[in-house]
Amino acid sequence: MRSDCPEPMNTPDCERSLPRQLLRGLPAAQAISLSVAGVLWLLGMPAWVALLYSLLIGNGISASIHVLMHLVLRWQLAHPQRAHPRAAEGFPGWGWLAASIVGGVAIGYIVGGALASAITGLDGVWPRHGSWNLWWRIFALSLIPGLAGTVYFYQRGRVEAAEARAARAQQAAAETQLRLLQSQLEPHMMFNTLANLRALIGIDPARAQGMLDHMIAWLRSTLGASRLPWHPLSTEFRHLEDYLALMRIRMGERLTVVVELPPDLAALPVPPLLLQPLVENAIRHGLEPLRGPAHLALSAQRDGGQLLLSVRDNGVGLDRGGTSGGSGFGLQQVRERLSALYGTAAELRLQSLQGGGTEVTVRLPCTAHTESST
């Protein structure tokens, strides 16, 4: 499943598209241009003339510097042997930086001033007899905001690049923890299933064969899910159904399962194996110790712009070590994965139910993701 989500805002400058870079520098260019226009107006220039010249020249300078820097960085990245060590962070080296600023100021001043002069009918952009000193002063003053803006955006780009690397490292750590979680969940599951298979082969071969079929399907879906960053919610539920089919064979008729997945939510992307540890906790710590009928309910629903996933059981409850029993490793890993992938936009809640049992609710944004897959 592909997403049309826009380019992340923490992408380094050298990896951004040129239009995005220009839009990013637009607010600062307007602020500087308006400030210059105010000064020119106070010095006696008509307000509309000062505003027109300042906006055209200021935006021309900003656009020219961005274009020159973009071209230089692209060229350096295409020729790594000649690139500056920090080219990937948006810094081409002091020499290229100075050349881009001087060239951008010259191009922006000349082109923007020429456009303003053509509109107003004035001729104030070109130096005349005896006015070279004034022209050079104006040009030198124009270098100051160009230099300040370029350095500012470079420093901000470095911070964003560092934040992007940190986010990628945090997500990689979360995925590593997922593998660790699987390494703890799967052996327990497989050992218990194999022990049940051994017992069933002699007394109920047909039932043993059904159990083996479900186990193969569960292992196949687990292997496929572990290789994807995202998969549809319907795939997540189907994986759980394979697991629960095994549990029904193990626990017998006393285990009943209700699954509610509205069709309009089936294609929403979610992290793979997100609910597996929650369901296994519910059965292992809530329902298996329970005497009598065991009931498990899985559901998904939309709450405004959020997706609510629920795992509810009628087990022994939290006060007797129910779903939160054991080391709490599974719940902690789900919380950390949610934090790494969604930040504060997702949460996991655990609560006791009246009359016994436990409910775990996962709330996450109901949106598409850039790396989701079908």
pLDDT in tens, 319-371: 665 454 444 667 887 888 888 788 889 999 999 988 889 999 999 998 644 34
Report yes or no: 104 and 145 within 8 Å, Cβ to Cβ. no
pLDDT score, position 326:
46
- Residue pLDDT, tens place only, 278-300: 998 898 888 988 888 999 999 99
Over 90: is that where the pLDDT of 126 sits? no
Contacts of 29-33 with CB under 8 Å at 24 or more apart are: 29/58, 29/59, 29/61, 29/62, 29/149, 30/55, 30/58, 30/59, 32/58, 32/145, 32/149, 33/57, 33/58, 33/59
When mean pLDDT is compared over 67-81, 261-275, 322-336, the highest value belongs to: 261-275
Q: Which token pair is 328?
A: 């709490």
pLDDT score, position 49:
83
Run of H or E residues at 28: helix 18-42
The mean pLDDT value of the chain amounts to 75
- Residue pLDDT, tens place only, 200-219: 777 778 777 777 777 777 77
Q: How many CA atoms lie within 13 A of 190 on its CB side?
A: 11
pLDDT score, position 234:
92
pLDDT score, position 190:
64
Over 80: is that where the pLDDT of 13 sits? no
- C-alpha 291/C-alpha 289 separation (Å) is 7
Mean pLDDT of 218-243: 77
Q: Where are the domains of the chain?
A: 13-165, 204-365
Report yes or no: 37 and 45 within 8 Å, Cβ to Cβ. no
pLDDT score, position 7:
39
Mean pLDDT of 58-76: 84
Burial of 299 (0-12, 13-18, 19+ CB in 10 A): middle
Specify the higher pLDDT residue, 88 or 233: 233
User: Which class is 204-365 in CATH?
Assistant: alpha beta
Mean pLDDT of 257-272: 92
pLDDT score, position 164:
67
pLDDT score, position 361:
95
Mean pLDDT of 114-127: 73
- C-alpha 36/C-alpha 30 separation (Å) is 10
Q: Which of 106-110, 133-137, 184-188 has the lowest mean pLDDT?
A: 184-188
